[in-house]
């Protein structure tokens, strides 16, 4: 299965010259579009009719082909979020991207009419004609030029310089506008980061509404007026003002036009966030209805603890955020009462619970111990994962390492199972061999220099399941003579302690992307960032290009970062796949993350909504939660 998957991605994505999306455009010569009732009055008042609002060629979704039904216009979707800044989720869930993933993880043009790639380094993009922003202004090459030249390359707005996905060996691309709808980015060497970055749940938005934002940009606007506006908002100068208003992802500026299915309205309060359908959205269904089907989305900000309570009372139409596996029993009961229907999606993280020894811990003796793979193997072998599965997940999850899941074309069974069998005798033998002797009245293990071995495991305390799992793990580890203390703390505290080397071990969720295809970046799997709790110092070294942190001397880490650098130079998927395999092999052999369990179910509560898939994967990147599963196609059936 994996070979087929790879071959198909290979065919679809990177060849020499691949025009994808053209066929899509040709397939729909003439479609009679149906005006949504939501806009009937607006059209009478002067809004152009739907035929003139939707760009050509249309982006047509054949609902039957993706196992959905054609929907009905209308309705207001209510959902619960837990923070005011969660308004940004609308832009993830909407998931209108220049090019985006299908649920099968193929990259397809979405906002773009088509794109082509030459030699893995020259990217030519073409827009649909008559594509418009949500306020009706045309969306053209100018918007891309504006972002690249006036924002990304402006040192007042972006003091850090260009983002790393735009740099190949430190060099920027040449950007050139070819026509109103056509433009090109060209690097001197292949850039495998570029396209996957554009499809992320939080994309870089390499285009900005020029017509709106230019009035706040010093190059185009009167600097005196800008400083008056900035002063009114107590901001220092035009640049902070511009960045405040330029909030493509956060959706806090209701004036900022968007290309997403829903755009923000001025709300009456910060705890009730209202979105309305974008009249100029580019997708339509094969019956001629403009997407999204749903007119309005209302997010209510509530405390995390009462999301389950409100969901089972039927106060939300679509809810996954804030619901945990442990809430399933409660939600099933609500389903029996007919309040909602419950779908159980599979979480696509590498692991639900992953124990991360800090390989950069400041204590020299512990560092040596943690870097010893026999020690990590012993810890892994001592854990009874089946019991954790039974106690916490009714036996429905999969006891496994923190690695790729079977859905990924890169999956191999031994990645998942290496060193995960429950074998305390072997673990004991391994520990004896590396010189951790049992001593003292309670016969716990001591370090070779005679000090008792005490491991403090810190966790964020937000998830009860992590605390419960650690209680089971601590008992298992005590059986092999290792004393463990579990300390609930806070995310930021843990990150800071990791970087300073005080953190010994932590519990976190596993790799964010457990379902990578060969062309996705393996950045999670190598020490590339300082917020990775297994190797913060090595990550910092890479992140800062060697100006801070430590150069990894530990062989597996060295090898991983070299492989990652190789990946950034690859041109085709064949090379990428072999690099991925090497990386995953290193993780399987070294048990760098001690993963406990994966493929846990995520409850998704649905009320009255149609077209929500029953069995799907739930993840952030790739996935964007509902985004990849086409939230714009969800609809309320007519009574």
Partner 1 sequence: MVSPPNNERPNSSPHENEDDYYLSKHPYQPQAKTSLAREQVALASASRWKLVYYRFKKHRLAVFALYTLLLFYLCVPFAEQIAPYSANTRNSDYLYAPPQSIHLFHEGKWQGPFVYPMKASVNLEFMRWDYEIETQKPMHLRFFCRGEPYKYLGTFKLDFHLVCPPENGVFYPLGTDRLGRDLLSGLIHGARLSLTLGLVGVAISMVLGVVLGGLAGYLGGLVDGAIQRLIEILRSLPELPLWMALSAAMPVTWSPIAVYLGLTVILGLLDWPGLARAVRAKIMALKQEDYAKAALYMGASPSRIIFRHLLPGFTSHLIASATLSIPAMILGETALSFLDLGLRRPAVSWGVLLNEAQSISVVVLYPWLMAPMLVVIIVVLAFNFLGDGLRDAADPYHH
β-sheet with 601-606: strand ranges across: 318-319, 601-606, 341-347, 617-618
Structure tokens at 532: 């990775």
Tell the smallest beta-carbon distance from residue 419 to partner 1 (Å): 23
CB 37, CB 636: distance < 8 Å: no
Q: Which is nearer to partner 1, 129 or 309 (CB)?
A: 309
Q: Cβ closer to partner 1: 224 or 305?
A: 305
Smallest gap from Cβ 190 to partner 1, in A, equals: 48
In the chain, how long is the greatest CA-to-CA distance?
Answer: 87
Which chain residues interact with partner 1 by CB under 8 A? Answer: 305-306, 308-309, 312, 326-330, 332-333, 336, 387, 390-391, 394-396, 454, 456, 461, 468, 471-472, 475, 485-488
Closest CA to 147 of 191, 177, 120, 121: 177
Q: What's the closest the beta carbon of residue 316 comes to partner 1, in angstroms? A: 14
If the CB atoms of residues 172 and 424 are measured against partner 1, the closer one turns out to be 424
Question: Which CB sits closer to partner 1, 129 or 333?
Answer: 333
Q: Which is nearer to partner 1, 454 or 569 (CB)?
A: 454
Helix (H, G, I), strand (E, B) or coil at 138: strand
**Minimum CB–partner distance for residue 467 and partner 1 (Å):** 9
Q: Are 346 and 406 in contact (CB under 8 A)?
A: no
Using DSSP's 3-state secondary structure scheme, residue 230 falls into helix
Nearer of residues 221 and 387 to partner 1, judged by Cβ: 387
Tell me how far, at minimum, the Cβ of 505 lies from partner 1, in Å. Answer: 12
- Cβ atoms of residues 632 and 328 within 8 Å: no
Residue 125 near residue 115 (C-beta atoms within 8 A): yes
The residue among 453, 384, 483 whose CA lies nearest residue 424 is 384
Place of tokens 């679509």: 318
Q: Write down the least CB distance from residue 383 to partner 1, Å.
A: 14
Smallest distance, Å, CB 601 to partner 1? Answer: 9
Cβ atoms of 478 and 486 within 8 Å: the answer is no
Q: How many CB atoms lie within 10 A of CB 507?
A: 25
| DSSP characters over 520-577 | S--GGGTT--TT-TT-HHHHHHHHTTTSSS----SHHHHHHHHHHHHHTT--SHHHHH
Nearer to partner 1, 597 or 624 (CB): 597
In the bound state with partner 1, the residue whose beta carbon lies nearer, of 327 and 524, is 327
Closest separation between CB of residue 352 and partner 1, Å?
Answer: 16
């Amino acid at each position: 299965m994996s070979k087929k998957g790879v071959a198909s991605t290979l065919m679809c994505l990177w060849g020499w010259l691949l025009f994808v999306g053209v066929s899509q455009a040709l397939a729909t010569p003439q479609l009679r579009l149906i005006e949504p009732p939501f806009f009937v009055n607006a059209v009478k008042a002067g809004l152009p009719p739907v035929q003139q609002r939707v760009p050509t060629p249309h982006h047509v979704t054949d609902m039957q082909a993706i196992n959905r039904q054609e929907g009905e216009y209308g309705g207001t979707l209510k959902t619960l979020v837990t923070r005011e800044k969660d308004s940004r989720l609308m832009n993830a869930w909407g998931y209108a991207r220049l090019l985006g993933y299908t649920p099968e993880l193929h990259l397809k043009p979405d906002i773009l009419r088509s794109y082509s790639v030459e030699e893995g380094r020259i990217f030519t993009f073409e827009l649909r004609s008559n594509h418009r922003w949500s306020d009706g202004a045309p969306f053209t090459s100018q918007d891309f030029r504006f972002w690249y030249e006036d924002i990304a390359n402006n040192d007042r707005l972006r003091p850090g310089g260009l983002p790393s996905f735009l740099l190949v060996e430190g060099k920027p691309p040449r950007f050139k506008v070819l026509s109103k709808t056509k433009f090109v980015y060209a690097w001197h060497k292949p850039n495998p980061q570029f396209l996957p970055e554009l499809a992320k749940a939080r994309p870089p938005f390499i285009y900005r509404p020029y017509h709106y934002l230019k009035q706040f940009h010093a190059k185009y606007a009167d600097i005196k007026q800008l400083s008056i506006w900035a002063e009114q908002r107590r901001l220092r100068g035009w640049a902070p003002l511009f960045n405040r208003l330029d909030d493509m992802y956060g959706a806090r500026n209701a004036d900022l036009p968007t290309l997403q299915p829903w755009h923000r309205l001025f709300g009456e309060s910060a705890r009730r966030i209202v979105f309305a359908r974008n009249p100029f959205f580019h997708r339509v269904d094969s019956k001629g209805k403009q997407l999204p089907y749903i007119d309005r989305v209302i997010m209510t900000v509530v405390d995390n603890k009462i999301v389950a309570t409100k969901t089972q009372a039927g106060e939300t139409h679509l809810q996954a955020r804030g619901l945990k596996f442990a809430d399933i029993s409660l939600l099933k009961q609500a389903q029996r009462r007919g309040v909602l229907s419950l779908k159980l999606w599979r979480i696509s993280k590498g692991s639900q619970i992953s124990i991360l020894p800090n390989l950069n811990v400041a204590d020299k003796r512990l560092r040596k111990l943690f870097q010893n793979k026999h020690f990590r193997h012993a810890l892994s072998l001592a854990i009874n994962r089946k019991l954790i599965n039974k106690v916490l997940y009714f036996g429905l999850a999969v006891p496994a390492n923190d690695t790729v899941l079977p859905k990924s074309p890169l999956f191999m069974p031994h990645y998942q199972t290496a060193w995960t069998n429950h074998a305390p005798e072997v673990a004991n033998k391994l520990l004896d061999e590396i010189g951790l002797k049992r001593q003292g009245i309670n016969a716990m293990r001591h370090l070779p220099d005679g000090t008792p071995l005490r491991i403090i495991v810190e966790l964020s305390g937000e998830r009860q399941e992590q605390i419960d799992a650690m209680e089971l793990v601590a008992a298992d580890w005590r059986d092999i003579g290792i004393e463990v203390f579990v300390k609930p703390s806070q995310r930021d505290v843990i990150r800071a302690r990791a970087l300073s080397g005080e953190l010994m071990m932590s519990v976190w969720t596993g790799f964010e992307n457990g379902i990578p295809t060969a062309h996705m970046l393996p950045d999670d799997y190598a020490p590339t960032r300082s917020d990775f709790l297994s190797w913060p110092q090595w990550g910092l070294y890479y992140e800062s290009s060697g100006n801070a942190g430590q150069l990894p001397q530990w062989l597996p880490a060295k090898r991983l970062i070299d492989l990652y650098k190789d990946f950034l130079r690859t041109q085709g998927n064949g090379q990428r796949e072999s690099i991925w395999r090497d990386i995953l092999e290193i993780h399987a052999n070294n048990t760098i993350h001690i993963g406990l369990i994966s493929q846990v179910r995520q409850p998704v509560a649905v009320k009255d909504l149609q077209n929500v898939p029953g069995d799907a994967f739930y993840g952030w990147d790739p996935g964007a939660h509902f985004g990849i599963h086409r939230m714009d196609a969800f609809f309320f059936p007519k009574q």
